[in-house]
Structure 1
Amino acid sequence: MFETASDTFAYVAQVAWRRRFLAIIPILLLPPLALVAAAIAPARYEARMTLLVQEPSKLNPILNDIAVNPNLKERMSALIALAHSEVVLGKVLEDLHRVTPETPPKQRDDLVKALSEAVTIQLVGSDIIEMRVRSMDPNSPAQTLQALSRRFVERLVSPERTAVQDSERFLKDQMSERRRALDGAEKALLDFRTANADKLPALYNSTVQRLATLEQQLQSKEMDLSIAGATMEELRKRLASTNPLIGRIEENIVQASAELASLRARYTDEHSLVQAAEWRLQRLEEERRHLLNDSHAISTTDLDRLWNIAAGVGTAPAGDQRGNDSDRNATPLLVSQLQRLQEQQSKRTAIESEVDQLRKVIAVLQRDIAEFGPIDQQQQQLERQVSFARDNYESLAKRYEMARVTGALGVFEAPERVKVLETPSDPASKVTPGYALYVLAGIISGFAVGGALAAASELLDTRLRRPADFARILGVPVIARVPRISPQEAQPRPYAA
């Protein structure tokens, strides 16, 4: 609009001179009005209070791991909003006895709103809270600020205390439930071990070793049984070869041989007596051979018969002297063989009983070893349940003890957590601006209003005052400019003669 700054300054000076009266009037009027406003304005008072909220790590670094961090920076916005709400300010008004339960809700809401507008809370730095309350009464801000600080600190600390208390109750309930589960799992494991006391996996190695030992004993007993059986069969065969009939035939053979030798000494071989003796000897030898070839295993009946024969020989009648003599020679041999056979049979029966018992025990152990797998699997499952229940219970117990210690630490540190750095002054200090400030504001406002009026008047004036305005409106450049002509200069001049 202007080509140079000097043109702009010259134009502003022209406007100020043309509108000098319109600009001076606000400058002259507003300062006195400001003095009047300062005189009639109501006085306002403000109370200020600062609180120091220390973090547990700074208060007690040693117990930092169990302390609850207040997180003041993150919670400050929510705490300020809560402090301006009816929840806190309503309690403050009740503490100050400004409202009662009979107070109408509308009046209560108005008082809460007015108090919320008068309260200012801000965080200074990282752990200092500044609280301000303004009022028309110099005595009320201090009381209001004291009540507000108590409610604010209560809200500041209560989440930590409530969280710790809720944690203790929750952990205690969970511990009771986990304790019941642990007792049930331990009882199930105990009942299982009691029911399978002889089949537990802990006895597996000893059971296997016992089975191996018993199998070795069984093999040894079976060998002893086979030896006893062979010995008994041998005794039976020997007893069969010592048949009393064969013994008597041999005695007759001896007698026949003696008679034959005596006859040969007296007679020739062709003698009838010699031939009769030879025939009798041959017949006895054939009979003996036949009995030896037809000998068989002696049965129980044969043994009983032999025992009767052995017992009857000693009690034969005295008239048969010859029979007694021959039986006395056979009886000791028969009785001793029968005794040995009876002893061997008893030994074999005892070994057979031991073998049967060992086989039964081995069968039971083999069945127990076969059942070790499912029992071991079931026991491991029960042990896992007990271990899981015990781990849960111990973990909850540790957390519960930690929560109790944390709660006790919070109670112990409560007096030191929040400290009052600056108490509110009573009466409160006046914050209403002084007369000089009002006058200065009036002067500044006068200049601002005067300048605004002058500028508005100049902008609303449609008269053309500069050549540039003519050129802008008419669209043609200014060729010549006619200066202002005074009335004296406008009168015609007389021509000289």
Structure 2
Amino acid sequence: MSHYVGRGTVLELGLEMWSRRRWLVLVVFAMTLASAVGIATSLPNIYRSTATVLVERHQVPEAFVRSSVTGELETRLQTISQGIMSRGKLDDLITRLGLYPDLRDRVPAEAVVEQMRRDIKLELREVAQQMTGRSATVSFNLSYRGRDPETVAKVANTLATLYVEENSKVREQQASQAAQFLRIQLAEAKNRVDAQEAGVRDFRARHTGELPQQMGVNLATLERLQAQLHLNSANQLRARDQRMRQQAESYPEVVRVKAEIAALERELAGAKPDGNSAADAAALDEPDAEIKALKAEEQRLRRDINAYQRRVESSPQREQEFQELSRGFVTAKETYDSLLKRYEDAQLSENLEQSRQGEQFRILDSAIPAKQPLAPNRIRLILVGVLLSMGTAAAAMVVAERLDTSFHTFDELRSFARVPVLASIPHVASAAETARLARRRWLATVSIALGLALVVLAAHHVAHENEQLVRILSRGVS
């Protein structure tokens, strides 16, 4: 019966329990420690190899050739990692290199791929830039852990090669896509420029003479036509005056007197009529013909003046329409020129990436097989096993004491019965009982030995080739 209130110190109680339960404590301690040591010694070794990849900046200065591949290096690394860590890539790598043979027989392919993702580690190395103060990635480490050191190093180098190739592929693809996009945009801009140019040509053809550039010519021509019209009017007045004088001279009385005078002159001169009457008739008709011609010329001049006046009057509207067309053409031409410059830069960038002169990854240090395992840390596991064994043994001793209902001392009996104890009779064992106790000790010893053996075998069976257990026990180890 366990009533220890007021009975000595904790140390004294512990010594009393140890004296009664030492064999139980030793057996539990031995069993627990044997299992811990068996697990620690039977766990497989896990090795890790690391490859270092250097980030080489542009070999051609960006002042000469500007790269069309934009975005931070860290972002591109994450994109490349997502591609390499995809199920298809890793599954192909697992099959090609024969990784996780035991695990593939026990779990689905998705679980194997997920385990490989956990075994791969990407670590960036950054330095602070003096000019901007920002951190820049100069290299990164690719690590892989596994059972066989040779295979682990091979996988790490394969992953590093995949990163190098994938980076070149991604940069070439981005440069090519940028050039292709600009090529399409440039063709569309060229079509817009051609359409605007055709519109300007059609506008000029439809409104010839009304364009703003022709305003000065139209005004000069209009002024010249008005001067010609003024001169025509003066000529018409002169022709009308001449005709009026000729008409005045052709009156009958004037004509008769002129005929008599002419006859007298001929008689005196003894000459014949010389046909001047016909000439005089023609002279009479000449002013009418001139007036008719001047009137026709006046009509033509007035038509031309009206036409040029309409051109001058419509010139402001045509100027506004032409400015709108010109503005659209200039905008389209500027856009085309800008896209053409960008397209030329994109072509240079594409050639730069194809010739591997841009930012590239280069394997600086290849992974080599590790000589020392990364896990498990057997010494640490054994020390933890010792502590766990001691705790388990102490717990077993306390539980045994709690479950024991017998009295071991007079004080326990007195505290329980509250009656006086008169005497204590010791146990006197007979020869048969002594022999029986000896057989029990022998059987117990054999049982304990067999139990220890079974515990060690069970620990070996559980821990042998159990990589998952190694990763669980070594969780947190970098």
Q: Same fold by TM-score, threshold 0.5 exceeded?
A: yes
Aligned Cα root-mean-square deviation (Å): 5.0
User: How big is each residue's C-alpha offset from its partner over 1:235-287, in whole Å with a ceiling of 9 and x where there is no partner?
Assistant: 5435649814346xxxxxxxxxxxxxxxxxxxxxxxxxxxxxxxxxxxxxxxx
Aligned pairs for 1:17-416 within 5 A:
17-20=15-18, 21=22, 27=29, 30-53=32-55, 62=63, 66=67, 68-74=69-75, 79-93=80-94, 95-96=96-97, 109=110, 112-125=113-126, 127=137, 128-237=139-248, 240=251, 243-246=254-257, 324-325=267-268, 348-349=291-292, 351-372=294-315, 375-376=318-319, 378-412=321-355
| Distance in 2 (alpha carbons) for counterparts of 1:488 and 1:200 | 142
| Distance in 1 (alpha carbons) for counterparts of 2:302 and 2:95 | 95
| Distance in 1 (alpha carbons) for counterparts of 2:38 and 2:150 | 27
The aligned amino acid for 1:47 is S
The verdict on how the C-alpha distance between 1:109 and 1:25 changes in structure 2, with shifts beyond 3 A counting, is same
Match of 1:495 in 2: none
User: How big is each residue's C-alpha offset from its partner over 1:449-489, in whole Å with a ceiling of 9 and x where there is no partner?
Assistant: 3455456667888999xxxxxxxxxxxxxxx9x99999689
Q: 2:362 aligns with which of 411, 419, 423?
A: 419
Match of 2:446 in 1: none
- Structure 1 residue 49: Cα displacement: 1.8
| Distance in 2 (alpha carbons) for counterparts of 1:322 and 1:416 | 121
TM (norm. structure 2) is: 0.63
Moved more, 338-347 or 46-55: 338-347
What is the DSSP-based 3-state SS (H/G/I as helix, E as strand, rest coil) of the residue aligned with 2:45?
Answer: coil
What is the DSSP-based 3-state SS (H/G/I as helix, E as strand, rest coil) of the residue aligned with 1:386?
Answer: helix
What is the DSSP-based 3-state SS (H/G/I as helix, E as strand, rest coil) of the residue aligned with 2:362?
Answer: strand
The verdict on how the C-alpha distance between 1:186 and 1:62 changes in structure 2, with shifts beyond 3 A counting, is closer
Structure 1: runs of 5 or more not aligned: 1-6, 248-308, 465-479, 490-497
Does structure 2 retain, via aligned residues, the 8 Å contact 1:88–1:152? Answer: no
What is the DSSP-based 3-state SS (H/G/I as helix, E as strand, rest coil) of the residue aligned with 2:149?
Answer: coil
The verdict on how the C-alpha distance between 1:32 and 1:223 changes in structure 2, with shifts beyond 3 A counting, is same
Match of 1:447 in 2: 390
Does structure 1 retain, via aligned residues, the 8 Å contact 2:215–2:312? Answer: yes
The aligned amino acid for 1:45 is Y
The aligned amino acid for 1:401 is E
What is the DSSP-based 3-state SS (H/G/I as helix, E as strand, rest coil) of the residue aligned with 1:66?
Answer: coil
User: How big is each residue's C-alpha offset from its partner over 1:64-86, in whole Å with a ceiling of 9 and x where there is no partner?
Assistant: 96353453444656655544331
| Distance in 2 (alpha carbons) for counterparts of 1:240 and 1:433 | 149
Question: Greater Rg, structure 1 or structure 2?
Answer: 1
Does structure 1 retain, via aligned residues, the 8 Å contact 2:249–2:255? Answer: no
What is the DSSP-based 3-state SS (H/G/I as helix, E as strand, rest coil) of the residue aligned with 2:50?
Answer: strand
| Distance in 2 (alpha carbons) for counterparts of 1:403 and 1:388 | 22
Match of 1:493 in 2: none
The verdict on how the C-alpha distance between 1:428 and 1:232 changes in structure 2, with shifts beyond 3 A counting, is farther
The aligned amino acid for 2:256 is L
- Structure 1 residue 141: Cα displacement: 0.9
| Distance in 2 (alpha carbons) for counterparts of 1:344 and 1:423 | 115
The aligned amino acid for 2:389 is G
Structure 2: runs of 5 or more not aligned: 127-135, 408-414, 425-478
The aligned amino acid for 2:197 is E
| Distance in 1 (alpha carbons) for counterparts of 2:398 and 2:63 | 71
- Structure 1 residue 216: Cα displacement: 2.7
The aligned amino acid for 2:217 is S
- Structure 1 residue 137: Cα displacement: 1.8
| Distance in 2 (alpha carbons) for counterparts of 1:64 and 1:33 | 67
- Percent of aligned positions with the same letter in both sequences? 19
